[in-house]
Amino acid sequence: MTDIADKHDQYPQRGALHRLVLDNRAALGTFVVFVLMMALFFWGNPQVFSDWRIYNSVLTTLPVALFLVVPLVFIVTVGEIDLSFPAVMGSAAWIFALGVAAGYDPFLCIAVAIVVGMVLGIGIGAIVVYAGLSSLVATLGMNYLLRGAILIFTNGKSIAVVSLKGTVAYDVLSGSLWGFPVQMLWATAFIILSMILYNRHKFGARVHCVGDNPDSAEQMGIDTKRIRVYTFVFMGFGAALAGIFSTMINFTWWPTSGDSYLLPTLAAVFLGGTPTWGGIGTILGGAIGAVIVSFIQVGIVSAGLDGFYVQFFNGLIIILALLGHRWNQTRYR
């Protein structure tokens, strides 16, 4: 039992390293999973995994997943869920591709696409929050609705944006720097800024409080509805970035763009150590989760196993990681 003593009013001063480990235990746990997985792959095929090319190929497409995972951690922390980000990603990327194909300046197209993503975020957030709908079901509906609209308007036709090649926008955003994909730098900057927003900013503090105890937050004068909507706007921002980068990397926009990211992104958030019940979460863990998910596919195939094993290993890693987090984290009520 704890004792509030009158004489000794000093609690133990813990070292900075100790606190860092405690504060990031979920992310560290995810990192351990990652290291173990990579060790396994390396043991399975040392030749492939000691070659830089395999990492390069993962790092080329990884940023797309990172732009989705990070904002989703905010949404889960605030106590909601979003299943509509694939369609928002597809919509924003569609506007971007249309603009580029029509010959507009790519930077302008990027700006417009980001605005589109954020406006969709406002709409989805407002529907969920102010109409008091279940975010699970409402965003599922929005995903179908938006994707359906894209398919209707485009007749299912893709848009090629080969004209991006050689433009300043392409070189700066997703070119190559000494053989290293530049988009990875942007994604890293995005993660760092988001971590500051999440852990060290007023907004992040409120996201945590609203997700933890909305009654209390409301009583303390926090506009809990507005905070919830903001997380959806941030998701729209991230989804737009993901869509833009995905289109640039592939030089093509497909009407299904974003669809394949739904389940891997959700998996990355939860195996990263953000629990489903809201109030807490980890951006860094989610990012490592995205790295894990990206490497599973490449790793399985390179390790000489059949592609059929990918889904099986996805599931195995998710379940093992969840068990690990269950043991690693206490749930306070």
Partner 1 sequence: MAERLIELRDIKKSYGNVFAVGGVNMAIDQGEVVGLLGDNGAGKSTLIKILAGAVKPSSGEILVRGKPVHGWSAAKSRAAGIETVFQDRALAVQQTIVRNIFMGREITTAMGLLNVGKQRAEAERLMRDIGFTSKVFSPDSIVGQLSGGERQGVAIARAIYNQADLIVLDEPTTALSLTETEKVFRFVRNVRESGRSILFIGHNIHHVFDIAERFVVLDRGRVAVEITKPEVKTVDRLIAFMEHVAHPAGANPLDDSPATTGANL
Query: Interface residues with partner 1 (CB under 8 A)?
Result: 1-6, 8-14, 19, 196, 200-203, 205-206, 208-209, 212-213, 215-217, 219-222, 279-280, 330-333
Q: Between residues 39 and 220, which has the closer beta carbon with respect to partner 1? A: 220
Could you give the 3-state DSSP secondary structure of residue 329?
coil
Compute the least distance from the CB of residue 187 to partner 1, in Å.
Answer: 22
Q: Between residues 79 and 181, which has the closer beta carbon with respect to partner 1? A: 79
Q: Between residues 47 and 219, which has the closer beta carbon with respect to partner 1? A: 219
Token pair for 320: 């093992």
| Chain centroid, CA 330 distance in Å | 24
Q: Which residues contact 35 (CB under 8 A, 6 or more apart)?
A: none
Q: Between residues 171 and 218, which has the closer beta carbon with respect to partner 1? A: 218
Q: Between residues 210 and 298, which has the closer beta carbon with respect to partner 1? A: 210
Compute the least distance from the CB of residue 155 to partner 1, in Å.
Answer: 45
| Chain centroid, CA 41 distance in Å | 24
What letters, b where the CB count within 10 A reaches 16 and e where it falls short, cover 285-322?
Answer: bbbbbbbbbbbbbbbbebbeeeeeebeebbeebbeebe
Compute the least distance from the CB of residue 206 to partner 1, in Å.
Answer: 7
Q: Between residues 51 and 223, which has the closer beta carbon with respect to partner 1? A: 223
Could you give the 3-state DSSP secondary structure of residue 42?
helix
Token pair for 92: 């924003």
State the burial class of residue 168 (Cβ atoms within 10 Å of its Cβ: 0-12, 13-18, 19+): exposed
Compute the least distance from the CB of residue 333 to partner 1, in Å.
Answer: 6
Q: How far apart are alpha carbons 174 and 186 in whole angstroms?
A: 9
Q: Between residues 53 and 331, which has the closer beta carbon with respect to partner 1? A: 331
176, β-bridge pairs: 181
Compute the least distance from the CB of residue 146 to partner 1, in Å.
Answer: 31
Compute the least distance from the CB of residue 10 to partner 1, in Å.
Answer: 7
Q: How far apart are alpha carbons 99 and 93 in whole angstroms?
A: 10
Compute the least distance from the CB of residue 119 to partner 1, in Å.
Answer: 23
Q: How far apart are alpha carbons 66 and 270 in whole angstroms?
A: 14
Could you give the 3-state DSSP secondary structure of residue 159?
strand
Distances in Å between the Cα of 77 and the Cα atoms of 52, 248, 275 are 36, 31, 8
